[in-house]
Amino acid sequence: MDPIKTTLNTYRQIAQPYSDEYYDYFKNNLEHLQVFINELPKEGKVLDAGSGPGGVAEYFAEQGFDVTGIDNVAEMIALSSKKVPSVEFREMDVRHLDFSESSFDGIISEYLVIHIPSVELPSTLQGFYRVLKPGGLLYVSLFEGDEERYIDEPFKPGEKAFWNFIPSETFKEMLNAAGFKVIYEKKQQTQADEEFLGTELFFVAKKS
């Protein structure tokens, strides 16, 4: 199975119930997001990479930021565009960003890297680095672990999604190798109901 294609196919089928369930899930992480927000310039340009239902993009737009949301699932883009008309959402592969260098003051990556194989994460992070302005900030949330595997999708029995559970130190090393300096890192127990989930990791890193 191709991990990305398999996961995208599953999310296309579950876009509506996923959006209904997780639109506001990010509010469990406001403590960490606020660290990111406090470091951003007012009204700065922010990329929501893997924007999903659009809740995070809406929140940042309400805080006065100029937000662009991207996702590789057309059905998610359609839902988020309808729910949050004040934000521009574009269908785009986060591994191949179609933006110029130094386009954004900040990038939000809320539960995005969990679906990208480790072998592709260095180039993905380098892409984030490229489109950030000097001193720009990256916020990342993910799940701690030490395995990559396919998991049955609770919203669609019979379908699977690829998940990448990463050790905290390993991901920190990836950020450093891409040119970022980690300025904040925290752990917390997940608030989601899925039994296979556990500890969530949060990083804020600066383009050096």
Each residue's pLDDT, cut to its tens digit, for the chain (208 residues) gives 899 999 999 999 999 999 999 999 999 999 999 999 999 999 999 999 999 999 999 999 999 999 999 999 999 999 999 999 999 999 999 999 999 999 999 999 999 999 999 999 999 999 999 999 999 999 999 999 999 999 999 899 999 999 999 999 999 999 999 999 999 999 999 888 777 788 999 999 999 8
* Closest C-alpha among 194, 144, 182 to residue 165: 144
**Strand 180-189 to strand 199-207: parallel, antiparallel, or no bridges (unpaired)?**
antiparallel
Q: Return the pLDDT at 194.
A: 76
pTM here is 0.96
Looking at residue 155, the DSSP 8-state letter turns out to be: T
Give the DSSP per-residue string, 81-117: HHH-TTSEEEE--TTS--S-TT-EEEEEEES-GGGS-
Looking at residue 122, the DSSP 8-state letter turns out to be: H
**Residue 39 exposure: Cα atoms within 13 Å on the Cβ side:** 20
Q: Return the pLDDT at 160.
A: 95
Q: Which domains does the chain have, with CATH numbers?
A: 3-207 (3.40.50.150)
Q: Return the pLDDT at 89.
A: 98
Looking at residue 154, the DSSP 8-state letter turns out to be: T
Q: Report angle CA 105, 109, 112 to the nearest 5 degrees.
A: 155
In whole angstroms, give the CA distance from residue 25 to residue 35.
Answer: 18
Q: Return the pLDDT at 71.
A: 97
Contact 66, 60 (CB under 8 A): no
In whole angstroms, give the CA distance from residue 161 to residue 3.
Answer: 7
Q: CB-based contacts of 195: which residues, under 8 Å, 6+ apart?
A: none
Contact 7, 18 (CB under 8 A): no
Listed in order, strand segments (DSSP E) in 144-179 are: 147-152, 160-165
- Both tokens of 63, joined, read 């805080």
> What is the crossing angle of helices 168-177 and 121-131, to 10°?
50
